Amino acid sequence: MSDAHSEQTHFGFKTVDKDQKASMVAEVFHSVAAKYDIMNDMMSMGIHRLWKRFTIDSAGARAGHKVLDLAGGTGDLTAKFSRLVGPTGQVVLADINQSMLEVGRDKLRNLGVVGNVEFVQANAEELPFADNTFDIITIAFGLRNVTDKDKALASMYRVLKPGGRLLVLEFSKPTQDWLSKVYDLYSFKVLPQMGKLIANDAESYQYLAESIRMHPDQDTLKSMMEAVGFEQTTYHNLTGGIVALHKGFKF
Amino acid sequence: MPALQLLSATLESAINRVLALDENSAKRLRPLAGKRLALHLQELSQPLLFVFSQRIDILVCDDEPDCLISLSMSTLPQLTDSSQLTELIRQQKLSVRGDMQLAQDISALFKELDIDWQEHVSRYTGDVVAHHLGRVVRDGSQWLSNKAALVKRQLRDALAEEKPVLVPKGRQLQFNRDLDALTKRTEALDKRIAALSSVKESV
Ligand SMILES: C[S@@+](CC[C@H](N)C(=O)[O-])C[C@H]1O[C@@H](n2cnc3c(N)ncnc32)[C@H](O)[C@@H]1O
């Protein structure tokens, strides 16, 4: 399968060829798209809603702003941003996976969100937007699935307007030992079983658990953001560091 | 857990549900679209920002609003009576900065809410039950308002200081050991299930 020249990367705990990963990730989200929202609620006991609220509260969105909800999936953040930026603003929901975008489109239509939302199938590593386009970029629970995170962060930096901010909401490293242990138990034992019961898909959830562990910790991600140019970079631990919100500005 | 976000989420869903019960709400919300009102409750560390569109979104953030209202929680219930606003300001229980008209419009929005609770309940239960329930609710509301004062006090205390929960070191170590044991047992169980499944398959 892999010849001497191909580059390798992580897919959960497995090592796979780089050009294979994108399609394997797509496969995972393709298989979970329909049940994605239910699983989110079950897995996090609804707390993911509060983490997302915290992200939106930190975004500083105002009427007229242009927002990119990257790896936006089924559009949880998009719905709220769409109301906050109003008819003079715009929200772009971008995701690599067409099935997720479609579930998102239906959901937003049912919520009565239309008009200022655009749906774009895009890879975070090569964003198809002009330089200096957005006031705000959010990527919630998306960065850990991206193959080349540095490239993706640089791409986000490029399309952000000067004065704009990037918010990265992602699983991170629990700050307490005991919490780490509960969390490991939960995500490697309980989660895949739940995935099996509800979505009949233990493997995808096993992948999710593994990908969470492979993701860079708080300080590593902060320095990765700084390396591509972000300034005033900070992070805020949520729920004991199970999740962290990183914030950085482009000036 | 982000405690203020739990509060804003709960409040937001309650307010929008109540608004949705009056079919005129959509019409009354329209002129307010795009407006932002910040409510600074003295008991909370950050203001709540009410953003108006076809519904109301509540953010926990101190971005610049069109109108900023500061008050303590105990004054909150009196806000629905817009005729009282000037009196409250005079008594310095309430301060309003910015677009005063916006504060009054919003107060009016809630005051004009016309919700036939009996009607809504009857949709689920039938008229007779709704009628009786109406009476029970009226009798109960007295009791409730007494309770509400208590809850309000407790809520205020709880929100004023998000106390970190301290666990004694010994308890924590024991907990860690228990967890390790549990993990081992789960793994063992996993193996047994795997073994049993393979037996079943080979039968
Ligand atoms: C866990 S979901 C998060 C969805 C949404 N933001 C939320 O918080 O509910 C991750 C999303 O990232 C998308 N994704 C994975 N790799 C991507 C990439 N390279 N570029 C853009 N989106 C990607 C997946 O298709 C999926 O919809």
What would the pLDDT profile of A125-144 be if each residue is shown by its tens digit?
999 999 999 999 999 999 99
Percent of chain B with pLDDT over 90: 30
How many alpha carbons fall within 13 Å on the CB side of residue A70? 31
Q: With cut-offs at 50, 70 and 90, classify the pLDDT of residue A165.
A: very high
In the block, residue with structure tokens 């739990």: B6
Query: Which of A41, A56, A83 is most worth mutating to test chain B (most B CB atoms within 10 A of its CB)?
Result: A83
A201-243 pLDDT, tens digit per residue, is 788 778 888 888 888 999 999 999 999 999 999 999 999 999 9
Q: With an 8 Å Cβ cutoff, is B13 touching chain A? A: no
Q: How far is A70 from chain B (nearest CA, A)?
A: 21
Q: B33 vs A57: CB contact, 8 Å cut-off?
A: no
Three-point CA angle A27, A30, A31, nearest 5°? 90
Q: With an 8 Å Cβ cutoff, is A185 touching chain B? A: yes
Q: With an 8 Å Cβ cutoff, is A83 touching chain B? A: yes
Which two tokens mark B32?
């307010």
Q: With an 8 Å Cβ cutoff, is A84 touching chain B? A: yes
pLDDT of residue B1: 57
Q: A83 vs B176: CB contact, 8 Å cut-off?
A: no
Secondary structure of residue A35 in the 3-state scheme: helix
Q: Which fold has domain B3-111?
A: Nonspecific Lipid-transfer Protein; Chain A (3.30.1050)
Q: How far is A242 from chain B (nearest CA, A)?
A: 10
Whether B191 and A193 have beta carbons less than 8 Å apart is answered as: no
Average pLDDT rounded to a whole number, residues A152-178: 96
Q: With cut-offs at 50, 70 and 90, classify the pLDDT of residue A6.
A: low
Taking contacts as CB-CB distances below 8 angstroms, the residues of chain B near A57 are 5, 8, 59-61
Mean pLDDT of the residues in chain A: 88
Taking contacts as CB-CB distances below 8 angstroms, the residues of chain B near A84 are 51, 53, 57, 59
Of the given ranges (A164-168, A183-187, A225-229), which has the lowest mean pLDDT? A183-187
Range of the domain at A118: 22-175+206-249
Domain-located, residue A97: yes
According to DSSP, residue A188 is labeled I
Mean pLDDT of the residues in chain B: 78
pLDDT of residue B121: 63
Q: With an 8 Å Cβ cutoff, is B182 touching chain A? A: yes
Measured distance CA(A57)–CA(B47) in Å, rounded: 11
Q: B179 vs A178: CB contact, 8 Å cut-off?
A: yes
Handedness of CA A137, A212, A18, A193 (dihedral sign): negative
Classify A163 in phi/psi space as left (phi over 0), alpha (psi -120 to 50) or beta: left
In chain B, alpha helices (H) = 3-20, 25-29, 85-90, 100-111, 117-125, 127-160, 169-202
Of the given ranges (A79-83, A174-178, A199-203), which has the lowest mean pLDDT? A199-203
According to DSSP, residue A189 is labeled I
Q: Binding site membership of A: which residues?
A: 74, 95, 123-124
Taking contacts as CB-CB distances below 8 angstroms, the residues of chain A near B58 are none
DSSP run (H or E) holding A160: strand A160-171
Domain-located, residue A197: no
Which two tokens mark A211?
């990908």
Domain with A60 in it: what CATH number?
A: 3.40.50.150
Please say if the pLDDT value at position A59 is more than 90. yes
Taking contacts as CB-CB distances below 8 angstroms, the residues of chain B near A63 are 34
Q: How far is B33 from chain A (nearest CA, A)?
A: 8
B157-200 pLDDT, tens digit per residue, is 555 544 445 555 666 677 777 777 777 777 777 777 667 666 65
Whether A231 and A249 have beta carbons less than 8 Å apart is answered as: yes
- Rg of chain A over all Cα atoms, to the nearest angstrom: 17
Secondary structure of residue A166 in the 3-state scheme: strand
Measured distance CA(B201)–CA(B203) in Å, rounded: 5
Of the given ranges (A149-163, A184-198, B19-33, B123-137), which has the lowest mean pLDDT? B123-137
Of the given ranges (A182-191, B123-132, B156-165, B183-192), which has the lowest mean pLDDT? B156-165
Whole-model pTM: value is: 0.78
Domain-located, residue A1: no
Tell me which residues have their CB closer than 6 angstroms to ligand 1. Answer: A 25, 29, 71-73, 76, 95-97, 100, 123-125, 140-142, 145-146
User: Residue with the nearest Cα to atom 8 of ligand 1?
Assistant: A140
Whether A177 and B176 have beta carbons less than 8 Å apart is answered as: yes
Classify A114 in phi/psi space as left (phi over 0), alpha (psi -120 to 50) or beta: beta
The structural domain count of chain A equals 1
Handedness of CA A182, A188, A189, A191 (dihedral sign): positive
Nearest of A250, A246, A249 to residue A238 by alpha carbon:
A246
Which two tokens mark A114?
């239309």
In chain A, alpha helices (H) = 18-32, 36-44, 47-57, 76-85, 98-110, 149-159, 177-185, 191-199, 202-214, 218-227
Residue, of B156 and A38, whose pLDDT is higher? A38
Query: Which of B10, B29, B53 is most worth mutating to test chain A (most A CB atoms within 10 A of its CB)?
Result: B53
